[in-house]
């Protein structure tokens, strides 16, 4: 009574197929697969901490230059 047998799982599978249909389940599986691929690609992206630090420094330098340009009397 504590665990489900193979027959319970087969009945659940049949009910799910009847309720949702194979087309919706196929689309959901495809969406899930694309999400996993996107996550893996994001995890293996080429952004290293050094490159991120360089980008942060560049952005800070640009912001400093813009601040200085705004304070110049015209």
pLDDT for residue 62: 79
Calpha distance 48→32 (Å, rounded): 27
Calpha distance 60→37 (Å, rounded): 33
In a domain, 1, yes or no: no
Question: CA dist 44 to 14, 33, 39, 47, Å?
Answer: 38, 17, 9, 8
pLDDT in tens, 1-60: 568 899 999 999 999 999 989 888 899 999 999 999 999 988 877 655 555 566 667 777
Number of structural domains the chain divides into: 1
**Global pTM exceeds 0.75:** no
pLDDT for residue 10: 93
Calpha distance 44→38 (Å, rounded): 10
In a domain, 36, yes or no: yes
Q: Which domain holds residue 63?
A: 6-70
Calpha distance 10→50 (Å, rounded): 52
Tokens of 39: 């996550």
């Amino acid at each position: 009574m504590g665990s489900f047998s193979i027959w319970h799982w087969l009945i659940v599978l049949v009910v799910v197929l009847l309720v949702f249909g194979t087309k919706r389940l196929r689309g959901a599986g495809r969406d899930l697969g694309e999400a996993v691929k996107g996550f893996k690609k994001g995890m293996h992206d080429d952004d290293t901490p050094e490159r991120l630090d360089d980008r942060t420094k560049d952005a800070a330098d640009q912001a400093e230059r813009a601040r200085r340009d705004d304070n110049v009397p015209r």
